[in-house]
């Protein structure tokens, strides 16, 4: 069973491209690699075509599934995920929210990227 984290965007046009989210994470000193694009294996540095529907990304803490809908992103981890993977998921959610001017849903509340970063457990980020 998976645990979901949601990032909402004000409109579909605000959904950020993977390249800008990846750049934001790289600049923050947090490394991720694309492992699958829309159900197909990919090279770690492969750019998914826009609009992609599902990505699986690898982090030091484990794998995160990203599912895209029109107005939101669903980040999924295993229900028994340990703290490093949950922190990685939070970092990815934060980066999408920043790049797409969105908000992260946390315990029923909608948090700005700044509020979410302040409250959520995350790996050490440079920015």
Question: Residue 52 maps to which CATH number?
Answer: 3.30.310
Q: Is residue 126 one of the residues assigned to a domain? A: no
- pLDDT band at 71; cut points 50, 70, 90: confident
Handedness of CA 107, 59, 74, 7 (dihedral sign): positive
Q: Is residue 124 one of the residues assigned to a domain? A: no
Report d(CA 114, CA 60) in Å as an integer: 24
How much is the CA Rg of the chain, to the nearest whole Å? 13
Q: Is residue 109 one of the residues assigned to a domain? A: yes
pLDDT tens digits, one per residue of 82-95: 899 999 999 999 99
Q: Is residue 87 one of the residues assigned to a domain? A: yes
Q: Is residue 127 one of the residues assigned to a domain? A: no
Q: Position of tokens 């540095």? A: 45
CA nearest to 75, candidates 49, 102, 46: 102
pLDDT reading at 1 higher than 90: no
Q: Which domain holds residue 30?
A: 2-119
Average pLDDT over residues 5-26: 93
pTM of the entire predicted model: 0.95
Report d(CA 25, CA 98) in Å as an integer: 11
CB 96 within 8 A of CB 102: yes
Q: Is residue 98 one of the residues assigned to a domain? A: yes
């Amino acid at each position: 069973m998976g645990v979901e984290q949601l990032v909402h965007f004000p409109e579909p046009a605000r959904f950020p491209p993977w390249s800008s989210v990846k750049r934001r994470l790289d600049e923050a000193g947090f490394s991720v690699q694309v492992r699958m694009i829309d159900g197909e294996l990919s090279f770690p540095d492969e750019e998914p075509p826009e609009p992609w529907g599902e990505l699986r990304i690898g982090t030091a803490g484990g794998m995160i599934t990203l599912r895209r809908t029109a107005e939101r992103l669903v980040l999924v981890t295993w229900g028994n995920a340990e703290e490093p993977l949950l922190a990685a998921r939070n970092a990815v959610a934060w980066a999408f929210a920043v790049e797409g001017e969105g908000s992260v849903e946390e315990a029923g509340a909608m948090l700005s990227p700044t509020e979410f970063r302040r409250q959520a457990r995350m790996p050490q980020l440079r920015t």
